[in-house]
Amino acid sequence: MKTKYMNPYLAGVLLGLVLLMAFFFSGRGLGASGAVKSVVVAAVDVVAPEHAANSGFYSKYVGEGKSPMKAWLVFEMIGVLVGGFLSGAFSGRLKWKVEHFPGITANRRLVFAGIGGILFGFGSQLGRGCTSGSALTGMASLSVAGFVSMMAIFGTAFALAYFLRKNWI
Amino acid sequence: MGPLVPQEIIGADWNFFIAFVVGIGFGFVLEQAGFSSSRKLAGMFYGYDTVVLKVFFTAAITAMLGLLFFSLFGWINLNLIYVNPTFLGSAIAGGVIMGAGFIIGGFCPGTSVCAAAIGKIDAMVFVGGIFLGIFIFAEGYPLLEDFYMSGSMGPIKVSDVLGISGGVMALLVIIAALVMFKLGELAEKKWPREEY
């Protein structure tokens, strides 16, 4: 099959080397949802500082001398935006669009994207990290949590694929 | 020698700069691999495109072997590498909810940010959803805290649970990955598709 994308095995090796670089320099792996959590915490702390200080969740990250936005993952995710943009520019893929299976409308795609995002955000907090932070990084460091996350995420997506097939095929 | 920042071989001031550079590499590779397309990602679950399987497992194995060899050569102290702790119940429940989010929304958090960076509007909506989902969890935390903290097993490794060395564990993962890569290639031949 002809493709405009990088060979997946080469991309995998490169992604693995990026992850190894994070381990070697910073002693930790990649992540994504943790950066969004930082933004949520910072926003709540600005809008309702008392609520943040009294909450069992937000209070872990705010207070004297703590700044939720000064987090490793926040800087890493700013990098992801830059890196993704550069790659898109390099390969001529910068374009405003709602990408969807032709059998459904753009609005239906957007509604499902929003619902999926809500579920993924909620699940990432309950599961202590998403595909990159818990599953990928966890597997590389051989952690049980990493393998459990990977199997639960991909297993559930496979199990539900039949019910959502009209959105994709 | 490594990890460099935790051992203060590189100043902690550099850590956020390193994070930024790592992020650029992460975002660039994700986009080049096609992870900025929800239709490519979802293809994993219908067999028409298994790029997720190939990239994910090749990356995990590359980093896994890198850590093991760096440790063998004395280049890195594995005791200083963060291992995410296992809370079995919440890890499974969280994973199941994330899996539902994946097949419904077509992205995961890292890939959605990457896709938003090249102008995919569906990805931007997905990112908005992540904000809302995390906010809902945070506000509901008092109700969820007992379950969230239950079943703590600490930062345990699969190799320790199975009583095998890290190297043997890596070999088992490599064998499993090779079998899955073969199945993925067969699936792509069986359910072909046009390129997105």
Q: How far is CA B9 from CA B5, B12, B19, in A?
A: 6, 9, 16
Nearest residue in chain A measured CA to CA from B60: A140
Average pLDDT for residues B58-76, to the nearest whole number? Answer: 97
Average pLDDT for residues A73-90, to the nearest whole number? Answer: 98
CA atoms within 13 A on the CB side of A26: 25
Q: What percent of chain A has pLDDT over 70?
A: 98
With b for 16 or more beta-carbon neighbours within 10 A and e for fewer, the A1-38 pattern comes to eeeebbebbebbbbbbbbbbbbbbbbbbbbbbbbbbbb
Question: Is A109 part of the contact surface with chain B (CB cutoff 8 Å)?
Answer: yes
Q: Are A113 and B105 in contact (CB under 8 A)?
A: yes
Distance from CA of B189 to the nearest CA of A (A): 9
Partners of A121 on chain B (C-beta within 8 Å) are 101, 109, 129-137
Question: Look-up: residue for tokens 């930790």?
Answer: A28
- What's the pLDDT band for B195 if we cut at 50, 70, 90? confident
pLDDT higher than 90, residue A16: yes
Whole-number pLDDT of residue B55: 98
pLDDT higher than 80, residue B194: no
What is the DSSP code (8-state) at residue B154? E
Residues 6+ apart with CB under 8 A from A103: A166
Q: Which two tokens stand for residue A10?
A: 């080469």
For chain A, what is the mean pLDDT? 96
pLDDT higher than 90, residue B67: yes
Please list the alpha-helical segments (H only) found in B150-165.
158-162
Residue B153, H or E segment: strand B152-154
What is the DSSP code (8-state) at residue A42? H
- What's the pLDDT band for A1 if we cut at 50, 70, 90? very low
Disruptive mutation site among B41, B50, B55, B68 for chain A (greatest number of A CBs within 10 Å): B55
Out of A109, A120, A165, the one facing B102 most closely (by C-beta) is A120
Query: Is there a contact between B156 and A44 if contact means CB atoms under 8 Å apart?
Result: no
Query: Is there a contact between A110 and B18 if contact means CB atoms under 8 Å apart?
Result: no
Q: Name the residue with higher pLDDT: A64 or A163.
A: A163
Average pLDDT for residues A53-69, to the nearest whole number? Answer: 92
* CA dihedral over B102, A22, A81, A57, signed as positive or negative: positive
Question: Look-up: residue for tokens 């995390």?
Answer: B134
Specify the length of chain A in residues.
169
DSSP string, A57-101: TGGGT-STT--TTS-HHHHHHHHHHHHHHHHHHHTT----B----
Is the reported ipTM for this assembly greater than 0.95? Answer: yes
Lowest mean pLDDT among A15-24, B8-17, B122-131: B8-17
Whole-number pLDDT of residue A3: 67
Residue A164: closest CA among A107, A93, A113 = A113
Q: Are B87 and A128 in contact (CB under 8 A)?
A: yes
Whole-number pLDDT of residue B1: 83
Whole-number pLDDT of residue B21: 98
Residue A29: closest CA among B156, B17, B22, B76 = B22
Whole-number pLDDT of residue A147: 97
Question: Is A103 part of the contact surface with chain B (CB cutoff 8 Å)?
Answer: no
pLDDT higher than 90, residue A141: yes
Whole-number pLDDT of residue A64: 83
pLDDT higher than 50, residue B189: yes
Whole-number pLDDT of residue B106: 98
Query: Is there a contact between B120 and A97 if contact means CB atoms under 8 Å apart?
Result: yes
